Amino acid sequence: MSRRQIFRYTVPVDDQPHVIHLTGDPLHVANGVTLDEVEFWAEHDMDAPEYPAAFQVVGTGHPLPDGALYVGTAPRTREGLVWHLYRLPVTSDARDSGGQS
């Protein structure tokens, strides 16, 4: 039996990097349940070691953090906002957001 699953993760919209422990890369990005978060889904392999990955949400027209790599864009919100998820180098100042939600 497969030990792979899809997990959902959330990243706050707060101009800060957040560390999330993964076993696979993000597959899809969407708006969160509230306006102050973006969510993404990634495969999780129960037999694979987790690794820390840092993510930050960036609004359209805002400067990108150094070393940022594009992951995906969430659809426009009803308020007209568009959020973009970027992966960053893991640093000691990133907030540890733990695992899936």
pLDDT at 94 over 80: no
Q: Is 100 inside any structural domain?
A: no
The pLDDT tens digits of the residues spanning 46-70 come to 999 999 999 999 999 999 999 999 9
Q: Is 66 inside any structural domain?
A: yes
Range of the domain at 89: 4-94
Instruction: Determine contact, residues 23/97, Cβ cutoff 8 Å.
Output: no
User: pTM for the whole thing?
Assistant: 0.89
Predicted pLDDT at 83: 95
Q: Is 37 inside any structural domain?
A: yes
Q: Is 101 inside any structural domain?
A: no
Predicted pLDDT at 98: 58
Distance in angstroms (rounded) separating the CA atoms of residues 48 and 23: 6
Distance in angstroms (rounded) separating the CA atoms of residues 43 and 11: 17
Number of domains the chain contains: 1
pLDDT at 6 over 90: yes
